[in-house]
Amino acid sequence: MRTGISVEEALELVLAEAKGELPVEEVPLKEAYGRVLAEDLVSLVDHPDQDDTAIDGYACREEDTLGASRENPVRLRVIGESPAGRPFAGRVGKGEAVAVYTGAPIPEGADAVIRVEDTRREGDYVLLFAPASPKDIRPQGDDLRKGEVYLRRGDLLTPGRLGLAAAMGYPRLKVFRRPRVGILSTGDEVVEPGEPLPFGGVYNSNAYSLLGLVQEAGGEPVLLGKVEDRPETVLEKLEAAGPLDLLLTSGGVSMGEYDVVRKVLETAGEVVFWKVKQQPGGPLLLARLGGLPILGLPGNPVSSMVTFFLYGRPFLFRLQRRTDPPYRSLEARVLTPFKGAQGKKVFRRGVLSFEGELVVRTTGSQSSGVLRSMALGNALVVLPPDRDAREGERVEVIPLTFVL
């Protein structure tokens, strides 16, 4: 077991556990939002499927309209129309025009269009007050070319990508099964909301903030309830959890006599590391039980959320083969001081905003027990070991992707 490692080393060790291959399932487009593609998608069509017009107006031959102006309009004979979806069957000859509407194919013989605003219709004729031009013709395949790959395995299906998959002609998509993530709370003092709170009790908030975080990362949370701080009950729950891709425990990984998660995993499983040089979340633990990776998150509400965000989320991204990074760093000017910690990388909670430049303020108390900071904040302020941030300094910030 390794201990007292850096954030970077810890992340590497966590990602190395994301070896499994998630099964692939097929879903209709209307259920695919937020899923992760398990196949490369080749466009089945050209889009547009032929040269079409980007504007409402008239299609004609450019050379017939050269020099047209307000004072010297050109007069063309209108031989038909081409609404979108109902192409004009004939051919545009010299001195002729066809009324076209956005998305309609350019009729044969025409090589230019003029917008309706620069024309006046007079019965079977149209007056052009400007030359027609090819610039408003969208060439065939302008957006998509048949046979080209536009979406890849590992791409998160965002609204734009869902539309793109539809435009490419796919009614159903192969996606990875959502990773199943067990959530187990530990602690004699932990009580479900709705129950009376005994003296010294605390409501189980971790299970629900983790539930949200798991869903946001594309996982399917499996709530396993809570266990008392007794090795036997912890083990029973772990073994009865059913098929999971990751197990999250909260609490019981600190130094205390009752921190049984660590003790149980040390004997029944295999601890990969315990303790990371960071704050909050220092007591984080990574273990395996059978083939199941387990992230032992500290019990403090802020610590469990921050460690999931920093390690659990990247793990789930890797498992889903996601091509986008689990988080991105930005730089912001601090408007309130942030305190660092000796020998530890620090993740404070801040409110990031744009005020001519990116700026960040504290959410208030930065204690690991103050869950409000995670509800108020939209970014983590990252401080390297042994460094405070004074007002006016620039710091690294990581937007909390589930609120930004």
Residue window 311-340: x/- pattern of binding to ligand AMP, with contact defined by CB under 6 A: ------------------------------
- Closest CB 302 distance from Mg ion, rounded Å: 15
Cβ partners under 8 Å of residue 79, min gap 6: 90, 92, 96, 97, 98
Note whether 216 and 402 are within 8 A (CB): yes
Single out the residue of 106, 17, 95 nearest to residue 54, CA to CA: 106
| CA-based torsion, 26, 32, 36, 42: positive or negative | positive
Confirm or reject binding of residue 52 to ligand AMP (CB under 6 A). no
**Which of ligand AMP, Mg ion, none is residue 179 near (CB under 5 to 8 Å by kind)?**
none
Q: What is the CA radius of gyration of the chain?
A: 30
Confirm or reject binding of residue 281 to ligand AMP (CB under 6 A). no
- Is residue 124 exposed (0-12), middle (13-18) or buried (19+ Cβ within 10 Å)? exposed
Confirm or reject binding of residue 48 to ligand AMP (CB under 6 A). no
**Phi, psi (rounded to 5 degrees) for 109:** 90, -25
**Phi, psi (rounded to 5 degrees) for 85:** 90, -10
Residues 162-201 that bind ligand AMP (CB under 6 A): 185, 187, 189-190
**Which of Mg ion, ligand AMP, none is residue 74 near (CB under 5 to 8 Å by kind)?**
none
Confirm or reject binding of residue 251 to ligand AMP (CB under 6 A). yes
Confirm or reject binding of residue 296 to ligand AMP (CB under 6 A). no
Residues 198-257 that bind Mg ion (CB under 5 A): 251-252
Chain-centroid distance of CA 173 in Å reads 18
Cβ partners under 8 Å of residue 329, min gap 6: 382, 396, 397, 398
Confirm or reject binding of residue 300 to ligand AMP (CB under 6 A). yes
- Closest CB 385 distance from Mg ion, rounded Å: 27
Confirm or reject binding of residue 265 to ligand AMP (CB under 6 A). no
Confirm or reject binding of residue 282 to Mg ion (CB under 5 A). no
- Part of the chain binding Mg ion (CB under 5 A), chosen from 116-124, 160-168, 184-192, 305-313: 184-192
CB atoms within 10 A of CB 318: 18
- Part of the chain binding ligand AMP (CB under 6 A), chosen from 11-19, 82-90, 96-104, 251-259: 251-259
- Closest CB 242 distance from Mg ion, rounded Å: 24
Confirm or reject binding of residue 206 to ligand AMP (CB under 6 A). yes
- Closest CB 195 distance from Mg ion, rounded Å: 18
Confirm or reject binding of residue 280 to ligand AMP (CB under 6 A). no
- List residues bridging with 377 in a β-sheet: none
Confirm or reject binding of residue 205 to ligand AMP (CB under 6 A). yes
**Which of Mg ion, ligand AMP, none is residue 136 near (CB under 5 to 8 Å by kind)?**
none
**Which of Mg ion, ligand AMP, none is residue 264 near (CB under 5 to 8 Å by kind)?**
none
CA distances from 290 to 157, 220, 235, 244, 287 (A): 32, 21, 12, 11, 10
Cα–Cα dist 262/234, whole Å: 10
* Contacting residue, 250, 278, 279, 366, with ligand AMP by CB under 6 A: 250
Confirm or reject binding of residue 233 to ligand AMP (CB under 6 A). no
**Which of ligand AMP, Mg ion, none is residue 202 near (CB under 5 to 8 Å by kind)?**
ligand AMP
Q: How many residues belong to the site for ligand AMP (CB under 6 A)?
A: 18
- Part of the chain binding Mg ion (CB under 5 A), chosen from 132-140, 181-189, 346-354, 382-390: 181-189
- Closest CB 200 distance from ligand AMP, rounded Å: 9
Q: H helices of 198-323, where?
A: 206-216, 231-239, 260-268, 301-307, 313-319
**Phi, psi (rounded to 5 degrees) for 316:** -65, -35
* Contacting residue, 48, 218, 252, 280, with ligand AMP by CB under 6 A: 252
- Part of the chain binding Mg ion (CB under 5 A), chosen from 3-11, 20-28, 183-191, 369-377: 183-191
Note whether 329 and 320 are within 8 A (CB): no
HSE, side-chain direction, 13 A CA sphere, residue 266: 13
Cβ partners under 8 Å of residue 309, min gap 6: 213, 327, 380, 400
Cα–Cα dist 114/100, whole Å: 9
Confirm or reject binding of residue 296 to Mg ion (CB under 5 A). no
- Closest CB 385 distance from ligand AMP, rounded Å: 22
Binding interface with ligand AMP (CB under 6 A): 185, 187, 189-190, 202, 204-207, 250-252, 254, 256, 298-301
